[in-house]
Amino acid sequence: MVDKLNLKSRCELLAEYMISHDATVRSCACAFGISKSTVHKDITEKLKNTNYTLYTHTKKVLERNKAERHIRGGEATRIKFSKKNSGV
C-alpha cells in the first residue's frame, strides 16, 4: 500500500500516523505492512529534508518512545513470566 506512494507522501503519511496514534516505529511498520527500518529511515532522515516541521513533531514522539521503552520491555517480560508460571 505505502510502497506505491511517492517518497514524500510516504514519509508524511508515516509521520502523521505516528503523531496521531502516538505510535512506535514497530506499530507504525505493522500498520502499513513495511519494515521497521524503512519507517525509521523515512522518519528520521528523509522526512527531515521533505517536511521539517512534521519532522520536529515526529522526533518528539520518537524521543518519548525511546525514553519509555524500558517500561514497555519490563511489562512484556512480566507478562511473559506470569504466563509461564501459570502454566499457560
The string of pLDDT tens digits covering residues 54-79 is: 999 999 999 998 887 666 666 667 77
Domain positions in the chain? 2-82
The pLDDT, as a whole number, for residue 87 is 66
What is d(CA 15, CA 39) in angstroms, rounded to the nearest whole number?
9
Give 11-60 pLDDT, tens digit per residue. 999 999 999 999 999 999 999 999 999 999 999 999 999 999 999 999 99
Q: What whole-number distance in Å separates Cα of residue 59 and Cα of residue 55?
A: 6
* Residue 87: partners with Cβ closer than 8 Å, 6 or more residues away: none
Retrieve residue 18's grid coordinates: 505516528
Angle at 73 between CA 69 and CA 74, to 5 degrees: 120
